[in-house]
Amino acid sequence: MKIKQSGIIGLGAYVPKKIVTNFDLEKIMDTSDEWIKTRTGIEERRFVEKGEATSDLAVEAAKRALKCANVSIEEIDMIIVATCTPDYQIPSTACVVQKKIGAINAAAMDLGAACSGFIYGLTVAKGLVGIGTYKKVMVIGAEVLSSILDMSDRNTAVLFGDGAAAAIVSEVEEGFGLLSTHLGADGDLKETLGIKSGGSLHGTTAATLEGKEHFLRMKGQEVFKFAVKALPTATLEALKLANLKSEDIDLIVPHQASRRIIEAASKKIEVPMEKFFLNLSKVGNTSAASIGIALDEALEKKLIKKGDIIAITGFGGGLTFGSIIMKWCY
């Protein structure tokens, strides 16, 4: 069986209207604008208003991706939503999105890889389109991280924001599209980033709520050490699979977690920072939505053109990591 070449034929992104600046956070926690900018590069982020859910952001991004790809909703035959902040435990957020956008011909499923979710989702879509199981797969990374933040914890609360991005993956002309992908995980580090209660191991109780165990916690130094190794490793492995070298890359769109992490990765990959696209200063870390939002903005700013070699790379809770090398289709 001949594997079909697949790629992104349309992108869309959406962030909530509410802007939360570092100066806003100064008023409610022990932090400062200078402290946050120096350590992360973040100046502001977007938070949802009360009543807005992950699916709402996903729907807005999906509509924009469909318009960009000039694809009708009836043509979508699979929806993958990468998120760690689903609307519900059951049903999946993908099913909620399917209903809201009227994708009557689509199967739907959620994918959990935290900040690596968009890369994992695109990899699944690549395989499904490649073997002909589905023709047009919608991959969405969407998060309402403000719903799991302890706003008194400056180690996490200053980092994250809300947003969504969607990509339509379909068969593309030979030589273009998603050329290679490299994924990885290290479960030994599962306790460095996560939420302690709310699952089958530790259910939600009055005691866990009082102990704030339903909020996201992170061991920043351990995550940093992992990331500065994982991002270069994944990118270089994906380049090798695509028979390309670092100097062939036109643009790298990394997970927007921390400028310091990205600068460290830049040195190891031997790609100058000028080739990295960053927008974390305005949106913060939006987890599974991060790479898609940045990719969409880079495209909007005409930093990407047909034929460019684009690398996307990220890491997240699990801990997970991955990279994709693509030759841009449009």
Active site residues: 115, 255, 285
What string of DSSP letters covers 210-243? Answer: HTTTTS-EE-HHHHHHHHHHHHHHHHHHHHHHTT
CB 81 within 8 A of CB 113: no
Backbone φ/ψ region at 153: left (φ over 0), alpha (ψ -120 to 50), beta: beta
The beta-carbon contacts of 269-273 under 8 Å, at least 24 apart in sequence, are: 269/231, 269/232, 269/235, 269/236, 270/246, 271/246, 271/247
70 DSSP 8-state letter: T
- Could you say which DSSP state residue 51 is in? T
DSSP secondary structure code for residue 281 in this structure: H
Q: Rounded to 5 degrees, what angle do the CA atoms 212, 215, 221 make?
A: 110
Question: How is the beta sheet containing 309-316 ordered, strand by strand?
Answer: 177-185, 320-327, 309-316, 251-254
φ/ψ of residue 7, rounded to 5? -165, 175
CB within 8 Å of 65: residues ≥ 6 apart: 10, 11, 12, 138, 166, 167, 168
